[in-house]
Amino acid sequence: MTASWLTDNHIGAPARYVDELVRRSERRRELLPELVPTGSMQGVLQEGPARELGLPAGVPVACGISDLHAAIIGSGTVGPYETHLAVSTTAWLSARVPFKRTDVLHSIATLPGLDPQMNVVGDNIETGGAALAWLREQIIAPADGLAGGGSGIGADGAAPLFEQPTYEALTELAATAPPGCEGLIFTPWLAGERSPVEDKHLRAAFLNMSLRTNRAMMVRAVLEGVALNITWLFGYYQKFLRRPVGSIRILGGGARSDLWCAILAATLDRELQRVADPLNAQLRGVALWTRVCRGELSLDEAAALVPVERSFRPDAHDRAVYARHAALYPGLYGTLRGFYRKINS
């Protein structure tokens, strides 16, 4: 884009390539890109890439940031300990913090941040919104030749036979099931897990199904299972911060669902503040970061430009139901991990 091959080295102590690690990588040192500071201006957009992108040549180019760092700015959580929750393909909790720390047992650590004064918390739930995508594409309406598909609920965009229902239709269907789904619990470990336990052998399960279990309960159980998994991580996340967390900003594709936000608010027992256009919050963060890099805004000024679209407070009844499930949920890992290790080794 700028006629140079570069990679960011985050912000903090000056970074350099370690000769021993370069040797082990079996790559020639001269082929590795130059290390440049995150947020540094690196020239302007060249004519060739500009034509492909449909942008004018000469647009300033800044060294970019990761999705985690973009989420911090795009959610407006730039103050110390201000927490955001991202529910996208995966899910995570993060905040800017004035310390460096690692929790090896629960796969939580600080990473270099947006400036030398603050690090950011890094953790990751391996399957977040991808669990609902899996249910829709592989269970509700797979392209396998069998008749089916469509929620029958009548939501705008509900699918006919042989077509996948919209996510809006799925969550409308889920809303017809009772909170807690009569004890049905889904563990969203479709791709193993990273936080709060790192275990590649874990797999997902619907537990406590009965003859009364229906499709609406299964969809809602997936939403609740992801929320319970996030709540499991949240306990260790607060211990990592060494302080309680107040309200939480939420972003990502999963945040578009009012029902999912309400379930998360009840399981976490926290007010959730959904930012406007949550699906594109990280794109907003990148745009605001570029203005910060150009000296047009401070981080605080950039955060002030992020609007909150709606707040979700815990429902007392739902909170009581989910508190019981949340208390049981960590024990499922202890009960099932031996089985998964044997069958998936």
Helix (H, G, I), strand (E, B) or coil at 42: strand
Work out the mean pLDDT of the chain and round it to a whole number: 91
134, 9: one domain:
no
Cβ-Cβ contacts under 8 Å for 270 (sequence gap 6 or more) = 245, 246, 247, 248, 314
In terms of pLDDT, which residue wins out, 141 or 313? 313
190, 317: one domain:
yes
341, 209: one domain:
yes
54, 83: one domain:
no
Helix segments in the chain, DSSP class H: 19-25, 47-53, 67-74, 129-134, 167-174, 215-241, 258-268, 281-293, 299-304, 316-343
156, 264: one domain:
yes
51, 116: one domain:
no
42, 79: one domain:
no
52, 16: one domain:
yes
Q: What distance in Å separates the CA atoms of residue 28 and residue 320, rounded to the nearest whole number?
A: 59
127, 60: one domain:
no
Last residue within a domain, chosen from 12, 44, 64 = 64
Q: What are the structure tokens assigned to 18, written together?
A: 């370690």
Q: What Å distances lie between residue 272 and 33, 125, 239, CA to CA?
A: 41, 18, 20
Assess whether pLDDT exceeds 70 at residue 6: no
34, 151: one domain:
no
58, 109: one domain:
no
pLDDT in tens, 11-30: 555 678 899 999 999 989 88
Identify the pLDDT of residue 63. Answer: 86
Overall number of domains in the chain: 2
Report yes or no on whether pTM surpasses 0.85.
Answer: yes
pLDDT in tens, 323-335: 999 999 999 999 9
Last residue within a domain, chosen from 64, 80, 102 = 64
Confidence band, pLDDT 50/70/90 cuts, at residue 225: very high
pLDDT in tens, 160-205: 455 778 999 999 999 999 999 999 999 999 999 999 999 999 999 9
> What range defines the domain where residue 276 resides?
66-345
CB 87 within 8 A of CB 128: yes
CATH number at residue 218: 3.30.420.40
Identify the pLDDT of residue 155. Answer: 43
